């Protein structure tokens, strides 16, 4: 996901590294560069301007553009550093904001981004890690796939570690890999959301949780802990699901629960997408939100603000997490992958109260 002018810059630098053009040797003209890279004149001029400002090249009026004498100018000749970013998703839900934070920070520091996703599929994680290894990346920002399970692709991650490639994890961790992480305090978030439903007088509450990701396990444990603290047995009111069941089994199970004679009056959902699903099913069943059913989501995603009624939800830092992850991976790349426990961040979630909840 490089800008076109960055590709031009990288290639011209690579010409010098490989000796294709020697110091003080003339490089192709603007027109030739446009044809070679299939880019606009504006893109070529941007690349030339940046290279000239950094003294990698110089221009002689009426003659052309030449490579500088690198050694004489004491310039450190190096390729652009590449950071791999592997998340479970890219284009939907909260992930565009996370990636926006990563991308903008990396580009500000002249790092390139290699972006891919796993769709929360272990085989796709396997192939993407293999691909990133082949590209010889300088660092990796990884969102673990099915993080509640035992790690399946340990060999690839260990291979990166053996090559001193820094790895940091976002949203979840693999316990078998000792590396910094940036995560939400999902357990505390689960407790806060459940406490709020109980404070509104809801006694018959249900939790819906994805259990192949550790985030779902932690949020469920927070739900259970708060119910037990209030002496409300939650065991019969927990609905769990796997990633593959979101569009198949899960909607039918939610519908069954909402049609039950003992249907819940309040539901805490794994995330805002599931909360939106609950809301639509409730509408189909002629249940009013929040009069008949209060709903809480998690992540304070864009969905939460466009739902009707707008969704009460736990916060997720999203773009800030992306920026923090990019800053940390740059730091580790520059300092030889030396990290401390204090490099990890555990973000405290907050409850954003909107119109999907009310007293029972």
Name 282's Cβ contacts closer than 8 Å, sequence gap at least 6. Answer: 258, 288, 289, 292, 293, 295
pLDDT of residue 151: 86
Name residues whose C-beta falls within 8 Å of residue 58's C-beta, 6 or more positions apart in sequence. 52, 65, 66, 68
Q: What is the dihedral of CA 337, 51, 112, 108, to 10 degrees?
A: 80
pLDDT of residue 5: 86
What is the CB neighbour count within 10 angstroms for residue 248?
A: 9
117 close to 61: Cβ distance less than 8 angstroms: no
Per-residue tokens: 104: 């903008």
Which residues have C-beta within 8 Å of that of residue 280, sequence separation ≥ 6?
Answer: none
Phi first, then psi: what are they for 41, rounded to 5°? -60, -35
Looking at residue 319, what is its pLDDT? 97
Phi, psi of 141 (to 5 degrees): -105, 120
Q: How far apart are CA 204 and CA 360, in angstroms?
A: 10
Please state whether beta strands 64-67 and 57-60 pair in parallel, antiparallel, or not at all (unpaired): antiparallel
pLDDT at residue 80, rounded to an integer: 66
At 95, list the tokens: 């992930």
- pLDDT of the residue at 76: 47
pTM for the model stands at 0.79
User: Chain-centre distance of CA 324, in angstroms?
Assistant: 11
Q: What is the pLDDT along the chain (360 residues), one digit of tens a residue?
A: 567 888 888 888 888 877 888 888 999 999 999 999 999 999 999 899 888 877 788 888 888 898 887 655 555 445 568 899 999 999 899 999 999 999 999 988 888 899 999 999 999 999 999 988 888 899 999 999 999 998 889 999 999 999 899 999 999 999 889 999 999 999 999 999 999 999 999 999 999 999 999 999 999 999 999 999 988 875 558 999 999 999 999 999 999 999 998 899 999 999 999 999 999 999 999 999 999 999 999 999 999 999 999 999 999 999 999 999 999 999 999 888 889 989 999 999 999 999 999 999
CATH number of 186-316: 3.40.50.2300
- For residue 61, the model assigns a pLDDT of 82
- Give pLDDT, residue 53: 79
- Please report the sign of the dihedral spanned by the C-alpha atoms of residue 308, residue 310, residue 311, residue 315: positive
Q: Which residues pair with 183 in a beta bridge?
A: 346
According to the CATH classification, is domain 4-67 in 1.10.10.10? yes
How much is the pLDDT for 328? 97
Q: Which residues contact 148 (CB under 8 A, 6 or more apart)?
A: 211, 212, 213, 214, 216, 217
The answer to whether 4-67 and 186-316 have equal CATH topology is: no
- Give the integer Cα–Cα distance in Å for 154 and 174: 9
Q: For position 232, what pLDDT does the model report?
A: 83
Look at residue 237 in the predicted model and tell me its pLDDT. Answer: 86
Contact 291, 278 (CB under 8 A): no
Contact residues for 289 (Cβ-Cβ < 8 A; gap 6+): 279, 282, 283, 295, 309, 356
Q: Where are the domains of the chain?
A: 4-67, 82-184+318-347, 186-316
> What CATH number was assigned to the domain covering residues 82-184+318-347?
3.40.50.2300
Backbone angles phi, psi at 347, to 5 degrees: -80, 135
């Amino acid at each position: 996901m490089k800008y076109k002018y960055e590709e031009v810059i990288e290639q011209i630098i690579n010409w010098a590294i490989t000796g294709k053009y020697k110091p003080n040797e003339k490089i192709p003209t603007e027109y030739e560069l446009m044809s070679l890279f299939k880019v606009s004149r504006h893109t070529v001029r941007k690349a030339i301007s940046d290279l000239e400002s950094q003294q990698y090249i110089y221009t002689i009026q009426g003659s052309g553009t030449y490579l500088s004498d690198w050694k004489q100018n004491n310039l450190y000749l190096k390729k652009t550093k590449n950071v791999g970013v592997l998340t479970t998703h890219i284009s939907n839900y909260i992930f565009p904001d996370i990636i926006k934070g990563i991308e903008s920070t990396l580009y500000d520091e002249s790092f390139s981004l290699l972006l891919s996703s796993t769709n929360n599929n272990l085989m796709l994680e396997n192939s993407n890690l293999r691909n990133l290894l082949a590209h010889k990346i300088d660092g990796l920002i990884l969102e673990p796939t099915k993080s509640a399970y035992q790690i399946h692709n340990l060999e690839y991650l260990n291979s990166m570690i053996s090559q001193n490639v820094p790895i940091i994890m976002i949203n979840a961790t693999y316990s078998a890999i000792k590396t910094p992480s940036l995560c939400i305090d999902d357990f505390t978030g689960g407790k806060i959301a459940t406490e709020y439903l109980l404070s509104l007088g809801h006694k018959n509450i249900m939790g819906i949780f994805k259990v192949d990701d550790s985030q779902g396990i932690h949020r469920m444990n927070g739900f259970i802990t708060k119910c037990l603290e209030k002496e409300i047995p939650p065991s019969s009111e927990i609905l769990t699901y796997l990633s593959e069941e979101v569009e198949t089994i899960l909607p039918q199970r939610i519908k069954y629960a909402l049609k039950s004679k003992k249907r819940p009056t309040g539901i805490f959902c794994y995330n805002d997408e599931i909360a939106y699903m609950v809301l639509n099913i409730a509408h189909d069943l002629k249940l009013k939100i929040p009069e008949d059913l209060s709903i809480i989501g998690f992540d304070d995603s864009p969905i939460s603000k466009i739902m009707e009624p707008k969704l009460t939800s736990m916060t997720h830092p999203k773009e800030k997490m992306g920026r923090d992850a990019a800053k940390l991976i740059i730091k580790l790349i520059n300092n030889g992958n030396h990290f401390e426990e204090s490099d990890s961040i555990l973000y405290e979630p907050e409850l954003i109260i909107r119109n999907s909840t009310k007293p029972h």
